[in-house]
A and B are shown apart, each in its own frame.
Chain A
Amino acid sequence: MIRDAALLAELAAGFARRDPLPGEVLRAARQAWTPSSRRGSDRQLAVVRDTALGVGPMSVRGAGYGRHTLDFAGSGVLLTVEVSREADGVRLSGLLDSAHLGTVVVHWPDGAQTLAVDGIGGFGGTGLPCGPLSLAVHRPGEPVARTPWFLG
């Protein structure tokens, strides 16, 4: 009988021919590298609710297709973000709950945009690129608090 390992190796070789990993995907993965000098002392916010994944309490109406809500927490910050895709790109609308309101910067792999935060912590942006996004909360005298990367 053919050994399991040989059969699985043959399957792996077949996948590589049938559904090859695109070169640009490999390049993007290599470029995702962040040297320690750029990691700094930023704080990582944790995902405490994600309606796309059923993590945490779900809203009554649910997020609906194409739209989901994420809650992040940590370092004295609560951040709620609704993410949706529109014809001109990704729309973000969020609420920052923190003792000291600062600014929110949305990052994508090769760019960033500062989002204005109003007096009650509301912020938003439209026409953002589809793909990985991450939010950074900048507050006076506090380390930057960053969300994990999530798909916009």
Chain B
Amino acid sequence: MIFVLIGAGELISPCQGSTKMPELSTTELVRAAIADDQPAWNALVRRYAGVVWAVAREHGLNAADAADVSQTTWLNLSRQLAGLRDPERLAGWLVTTARREARRAVLARGRETPVEWLPDRCSAEQPEPERAVLIADADSTLWRAFAELPHRCRQLLRLIAEAPDLSYAQAARSLGIQLGSVGPIRGRCLAALRRKLACAGALDGVAR
């Protein structure tokens, strides 16, 4: 929550007061889920549902089609969980599977439609008004800068932002780019985003 903090120090830590729970590794959660521990499955869903959704949306799918892609991906994981060769690479498996289903959905629609970067439903938890204004200001600056990036940059940055444990190899497979290109592209895209934010004066006061 960096951008929402500019001039609002009291909001610096959105996690203040929360208790940090020990996190199980993905492998531990997969093993527990195979052993019929539904809370472990739910934890996997919490950890990775965002990136599955992001992959579908980055293919230009509307909310209904992205929901179908997401559900298909999780149904397949449920059925194939016990056969995963390397559970620690689950993020890559999910991204690859979601991408395949998203491509099917794109074909079914016959065309890709651009994602509108607007929420299509209200979040259950609405921030209080002053905080909402700060968030909206910060978001508009961030999103203007993000939207100006090339499509490949937006795809890669969203993927690695939503799934920080995704390896370069998995990201390369997911996006259909050379493994050796991921690092350089990532670096160029982040540098470009920083430049745009700096031009907009949005990096002032940001944690460095």
Give residues in A with beta carbon < 8 Å to B: 1-26, 28-30, 32-37, 39, 44, 50, 52-53, 63, 65-66, 68, 85, 109, 130-132, 134, 146, 148-151
CA distance A29 to B73 in the complex (A): 9
Q: Are B194 and A1 in contact (CB under 8 A)?
A: yes
CA distance A39 to B107 in the complex (A): 31
* Given known contacts A15-B50, A36-B34, A151 and B72 CB-to-CB distance under 8 angstroms: yes
Q: Are B70 and A28 in contact (CB under 8 A)?
A: yes
For residue B80, which residues in chain A have a CB less than 8 angstroms away from its CB?
Answer: 44, 148
Query: Does any Cβ of A come within 8 Å of B115's Cβ?
Result: yes
CA distance A23 to B49 in the complex (A): 11
Contacting residue for B67 out of A5, A24, A66, CB 8 A: A24
CA distance A21 to B121 in the complex (A): 10
State the 4 A-B residue pairs at the shortest beta-carbon distance, nearest first. Answer: A65-B110, A32-B74, A132-B72, A11-B161
Stretch at the interface among B16-24, B35-43, B84-92: B35-43
Q: Are B162 and A132 in contact (CB under 8 A)?
A: no
Q: Are A6 and B68 in contact (CB under 8 A)?
A: no
Report 26 cross-chain contacts, Cβ distance below 8 Å, ordered by A residue: A2-B2, A2-B206, A2-B208, A7-B2, A8-B157, A9-B161, A15-B158, A15-B161, A16-B50, A17-B139, A18-B143, A19-B57, A20-B121, A25-B70, A26-B45, A28-B71, A29-B74, A32-B74, A34-B78, A65-B110, A65-B111, A68-B108, A130-B68, A134-B75, A148-B76, A151-B72
* Given known contacts A14-B142, A17-B139, A21-B50, A53 and B103 CB-to-CB distance under 8 angstroms: yes
In the complex, how many angstroms separate the beta carbon of A23 from the nearest chain B beta carbon?
7
Give residues in B with beta carbon < 8 Å to A: 1-3, 33-36, 38, 41-42, 45-46, 49-50, 52-54, 57, 63, 66-72, 74-80, 82-83, 100-101, 103-105, 107-111, 115, 117-119, 121, 123-124, 135, 139, 142-143, 146, 157-158, 160-162, 164, 190, 193-194, 203, 206-208
Q: Which residue of B lies closest to A26 (CB)?
A: B49
In the complex, how many angstroms separate the beta carbon of A114 from the nearest chain B beta carbon?
20
Q: Are B162 and A12 in contact (CB under 8 A)?
A: yes
Q: Are B50 and A6 in contact (CB under 8 A)?
A: no
CA distance A131 to B66 in the complex (A): 10
Q: Are A18 and B36 in contact (CB under 8 A)?
A: no
Q: Are B208 and A63 in contact (CB under 8 A)?
A: no
Q: Are A131 and B72 in contact (CB under 8 A)?
A: yes
